[in-house]
Amino acid sequence: MLNTQQNTAIKDRIQAQPRTQVSMESQQPQSTAKLPAPELIVDEDFAERLEGFIKGELTWAEVEGWTVDQLYYYAQMGVDLMQCGRLDDAEQIFDACYAINPKDWYFSYCLGHISLMKNATERAVAFLEISIATAPVRPEPFLILAAAKTRLGQQADAQKLLARALQVWQQTQADQPK
C-alpha cells in the first residue's frame, strides 16, 4: 500500500509527462478498399452444439467444452475477492460463470450471497431460489435465503427455510459413507 507522499510523487510524475495531441485525421484509414469478410469456419459438431444452445438445451460451457474445473478456477477467484470485500469484482466473476453455466447451483448461490452482502435483497432472493431449484440437496442456499427472508421481515418463511436446511444437511450426512 502506498502512503500519501508516494501517491503524490507518482501523481506529480504523471502530470509532468508531456501530452501528445492526436489528430482524428491521422486515425482515418488510408485506403477505401473494402476488406473481404472473414470466413467463419464452423465444424458440424460445433454447429450442432450451437443449435442446442440457441434452443436452450445446452449451456455455453457445453458449447465451448469448458470443464467444471475451469469454471471453478474462476469461481475461486470470485470467492477470494468476496472475502476481501471486493464485492463488485466478485460479482462480475460470478455473473460470467453463471452466464456460461447457469445449471451449476454454486454460481447462482454466490450471486445471491453477494447480493445479500450488498443489500440487494430482492436480487439475492431471486438467485438463491434459482440455486435451490438447481440443487435442492444443498443446504447452503436455504441458509442464505433464510437470512434474506429475515431481512425482508418474513420470519415465518425464514424459519421454514432453516428447518429445510437442517433437513437437507441431515440427509446429506446420512448419505455419507461411514
Domain with residue 98: its CATH number is 1.25.40.10
The answer to the question of residue 17 being in a domain is: no
- Distance (Å, whole) CA 108 – CA 8: 42
Cell reading at 111: 450471486
The answer to the question of residue 119 being in a domain is: yes
- Distance (Å, whole) CA 78 – CA 86: 9
Number of compact structural domains in the chain: 1
pLDDT of 119 above 90: yes
DSSP 25: G
Tell me, what's the pLDDT at 44?
77
pLDDT of 114 above 90: yes
The answer to the question of residue 36 being in a domain is: no
The answer to the question of residue 61 being in a domain is: yes
Q: Is 15 exposed, middle or buried (0-12, 13-18, 19+ CB in 10 A)?
A: exposed
The answer to the question of residue 55 being in a domain is: yes
pLDDT in tens, 134-170: 999 999 999 999 999 999 999 999 999 999 999 999 9
* Domain range enclosing 82: 44-175
Tell me, what's the pLDDT at 157?
97
pLDDT of 2 above 50: no
Task: Say if residues 101 and 88 touch (Cβ distance below 8 Å).
Answer: no
The CA-atom distances, in angstroms, between 75 and each of 14, 15, 164 are 36, 38, 26
pLDDT of 22 above 90: no
The answer to the question of residue 27 being in a domain is: no
Task: Say if residues 87 and 96 touch (Cβ distance below 8 Å).
Answer: no
Higher-confidence residue: 140 or 174?
Answer: 140
Is the model's pTM score more than 0.85? Answer: no
The answer to the question of residue 15 being in a domain is: no
pLDDT in tens, 57-113: 888 888 888 888 889 999 999 999 999 999 999 999 999 999 999 999 999 999 999
Task: Say if residues 24 and 17 touch (Cβ distance below 8 Å).
Answer: no
- Distance (Å, whole) CA 97 – CA 107: 6
The answer to the question of residue 169 being in a domain is: yes
Tell me, what's the pLDDT at 43?
74
- Distance (Å, whole) CA 29 – CA 131: 50
What distance, in Å, lies between the first and last C-alpha atoms of the chain? 49
Work out the number of other CB atoms within 10 angstroms of the CB of residue 144: 24
Tell me, what's the pLDDT at 83?
94
